[in-house]
Structure 1
Amino acid sequence: MQKLTNVGENLVNDIASRYGLSHGAVTHMLVAVNNGGGSMAQFNCPELGGSGQWMRGGMTMVGDMFNNGLKTTVDNLCNELANILSNNQIFPVIPAGTPGSNQWWPSNLGNPFSSGAQNNIRYAVFPNRLAVELNGQVSVYDTLDHNIGGVSQQQGNNTSLTFNSQWGTINVSSLPLITGQPLPVVAKTNFADVAAPAMNNMPTNNNLSNNSLNNNNGLNSSANNSSSQQQSTNGNLDNNYSANTNGINNDNNSHNKQPIDQKDQKSITQTLDIIEKLAQLHEMGALTDDEYNTKKSDLLSRI
């Protein structure tokens, strides 16, 4: 458990009481916001829907994608924690070179030319060395002949770390470990699959067209039968029968049209909601441009 100052403990207890959360859940979110520099947080908190991400300014993702109430709770909580961190000494001051401090890497490495943090993992890049801290444990890797130009972490995952060099994208776990424990090797998650169940259950235009065609066929058959009967009746009966038939057909059209319109409107609303979620995933970097455009085109084709 992350140590807090007396001020930090009091603030966490107050927030936990007001939000109906446990002390551990609030502390977890506090650490996540702190690791994100007070402007973002990536977390995995069961009390708040599992894995999620928050960015100051209103962009919030939770495990339950369509739970707007939970999104609002996470957004309010993270904003409050960010304000607390900027105005109070929440964590004890830790000497430089000690895990958990702002200068957490071994002092003999000097000053990094690049550093950052996401979730419970932090990294610092030095000449020929890469230092990584995961849950307070520091590991140092040999970067060999790689000229690191950027480090990234897979969205929604706490331990996947890759970097870009002149040789392309390299996973940290492929580098020689000098000191510490290696990072766990995890499978990559494709967040485009999150929307797949909803997409599979959505009615398509083809289904709607088939329903419309079937209904029209029923009306046409009724009209044909009426036409046969009209030929065997006199003029007055023809007029009466035609008037009655028109009334029946109008009722049938009104009866059949309503479910189709409701289903069509519902499918369009579902499609637009999913596109909005995919756009958020794309902005976060969880989806590539190709993945996003492909999914978006497929969804729009169903409207």
Structure 2
Amino acid sequence: MRKPLRKAVLPVAGLGTRFLPATKQMAKEMLPVVDKPLIQYAVEEARAAGIEEFCFVTGRGKTMLVDQFDVAYELERTLTERNKAKELAMLHAQALPPGSVVSTRQQVPLGLGHAIWCARAFVADEPFAILLPDDLMLCDVSCTKQLVDAYNETGGNVVAIETVPKERVSSYGVIDPGATTGNLVEVKGLVEKPPIEKAPSNLTVIGRYILMPEVMGHLATQEKGAGNEIQLTDSMAKLIGTQPFHGVLYEGRRFDCGDKAGYLEAQVAFALARPDMESTMRAIIQKYAQ
């Protein structure tokens, strides 16, 4: 019987050097899109998929990420005294149950695979989701929920995939696709950042995964791959053939908020998607597009 998906790992130890000086003192995952930090979007997306427990893989100076989900007693008292009922209700709606957030340290930046391996005690023997907050998703149905639905159907490992221009495949993990049914694609192979001429397809993995706990055994070897880092893709590839493995052509849009242009585009798209801001944002766009 398939185990329910209850846990998510969020690797958030990166330095955010592409956003200096903004990230000199602030974690890049706390950068806001409109009025909500990236980390909040990721957690809310996971909660919409039924996930109950979260592990943040952090680094030095990243305690604010955990603090974001703590109770801010002074703030709540001030809001109460000023009759800010709407703002107070919003904070309460975003609160997580006690004990549902833990953190662990990735002391040395050895790659995404290493960051995930640092959460091995949290994962234990359960399937788990991975969400990379830099990939901000705008979907009618939570992207993670789309993966959970596929997992409930197929079991095994499930990753979100999208089509990119052939000339960009060397920036991603790329799948070797098998049989396709609707938006579900069998994964026959995986390769991390292949040269364009050796890429098996232009279907690439984005920052949303559901993996079986057996991946931790492969990550434990600490084998280095592309970029001389411990790559998650390499360990995922070793699960193929021993467990079901599928990609989901998710419905929605992804914004690469680890990139300045992608981050700015996300601001526009998320503002336009909000009824309280759409007209204002359209006016701003018209003003500067002339």
TM-score after normalising by structure 2: 0.23
Larger radius of gyration: 1
* Greater relative contact order (Cα < 8 A, sep 6+): 2
Which is strand-richer, 1 or 2?
Answer: 2
Compute the TM-score of the two structures, normalised by the length of structure 1: 0.22
